[in-house]
Amino acid sequence: MLDQAERLRQMALSKNREKDIPKEKTRIITITSGKGGVGKSNIVVNLSIALQKMGKKVLILDADIGMGNDDILMGFLPKYTVFDTIFNDMEIEDILIEGSYGVKLLPGGTGISKVEELTNYQREKLLTKISSLNGFDYILMDTGAGINRTVLGFVAVCEELIVITTPEPTALTDAYSLMKAIAKFQLKPKGKIIVNRVIKEKEGEITFKKFDNAVKKFLDINVEYLGKVSEDRALIQSVREQKPFIINYPDSEVSKDIKNIAYRLTGEANKSNSMGIQGLFKKIFNIFS
């Protein structure tokens, strides 16, 4: 299925750091799912705002080729992607979107598919232009859903992985298949799980335990429970209004869930790396070329 599995594996296992990469304490997290329709982008947008409200500086990289909708959930409709800085000679300030509480959104979208077309000069030009995007505490990469080279590529370039699923059997099966591919190609030794659309309080933990038992039995990879997100009418209403629920309904159950997940993330031992945004794009060039 993956014609460049060896490249993915080498990237994931590589311990070398390029000397010319600026040193930043940035946690780069890929957030993905085994199937579409599990509410992944909604979680990314609202989690970013929760982290930003806690004093963290957050950048979202919308890396869902052709289907990215973080912008819509944030109430924007961007015309360009980060690669327009090369192909249309635009400045990064013209591409970057600032959302609620200062969360930044960098649209990637269909531009990722053009990486193979870039010359060395164009790559250096892009790296130069994005060099002003520094000082972030978190870079959250919102990928497409499913199991394909692009999704697994973004799993390979990140330092941390979060997989979104729901209690539905089909969602769990697809999430398991995704973890199976990640384990097979040795992309990550572990990942965190968020269970979305939970109806009962304990349903998230019960769902995770079932998933964890299957992973432990058949796969060489560890999973951790990051939290649950409740099924809530506040979320549905907020999507229709194109406004994040954590802003629209800050006291709702779903908002409390997202805040708890943000607290867990920030409360962990600092897992920062030294890549920064430039280092991230260098890895993207290596993976997708």
Lowest mean pLDDT among 33-42, 75-84, 126-135: 75-84
Q: Helices in the chain by DSSP H: which ranges?
A: 5-13, 40-53, 70-73, 84-87, 92-95, 120-129, 149-157, 169-184, 203-218, 233-241, 245-248, 253-267, 276-288
Say yes or no to pLDDT of 2 above 60: no
Residue-wise pLDDT for 242-268, tens only, equals: 889 999 999 999 999 999 999 999 987
**41 three-state secondary structure:** helix
- If you ran DSSP here, which 8-state letter would residue 245 be given? H
| Summary mean pLDDT of the chain | 85
Confidence bin at 17 (pLDDT 50/70/90): very low
Q: In the chain, what is the straight-line distance between the N-terminal and C-terminal CA atoms, in Å? A: 17
Q: How much is the pTM?
A: 0.86
pLDDT at 18: 43
Residue-wise pLDDT for 166-215, tens only, equals: 999 999 999 999 999 999 999 999 999 999 999 998 999 999 999 999 99
CA dist., res. 57 & res. 277, Å (int): 13
Higher-confidence residue of 22 and 85: namely: 85
**Token pair recorded at residue 232:** 């809530």
Per-domain boundaries in the chain: 5-11+24-288
Average pLDDT over residues 6-13: 60
Say yes or no to pLDDT of 58 above 80: yes
User: Identity (one letter) of the amino acid at 37?
Assistant: G
Higher-confidence residue of 108 and 135: namely: 135
Say yes or no to pLDDT of 67 above 60: no
Average pLDDT over residues 117-135: 84
φ, ψ of residue 207 in degrees (nearest 5): -60, -45
φ, ψ of residue 244 in degrees (nearest 5): -55, 135
Residue 33 neighbours by CB under 8 Å, 6+ apart = 40, 145, 163, 164, 165, 171, 174, 175, 178
Say yes or no to pLDDT of 33 above 60: yes
pLDDT at 110: 60
**Token pair recorded at residue 261:** 């997940």
How many residues can be counted in the chain? 289
CATH superfamily of 5-11+24-288: P-loop containing nucleotide triphosphate hydrolases (3.40.50.300)
Work out the percent of the chain whose per-residue pLDDT is above 70: 82
Say yes or no to pLDDT of 270 above 70: no
pLDDT at 149: 85
Q: Burial letters for 170-196: b for 16+ Cβ neighbours within 10 Å, e otherwise? A: ebbebbbebbbbbbbbbbbeebbbbbb
Nearest alpha carbon to residue 141 among 1, 5, 7, 275: 275
Judge contact between 51 and 266, C-beta under 8 A: yes
pLDDT at 3: 54
Say yes or no to pLDDT of 288 above 60: yes
pLDDT at 204: 97
CA dist., res. 60 & res. 85, Å (int): 18
Q: How far is CA 38 from CA 35, 54, 98, 122, 232, in A?
A: 7, 26, 25, 36, 14
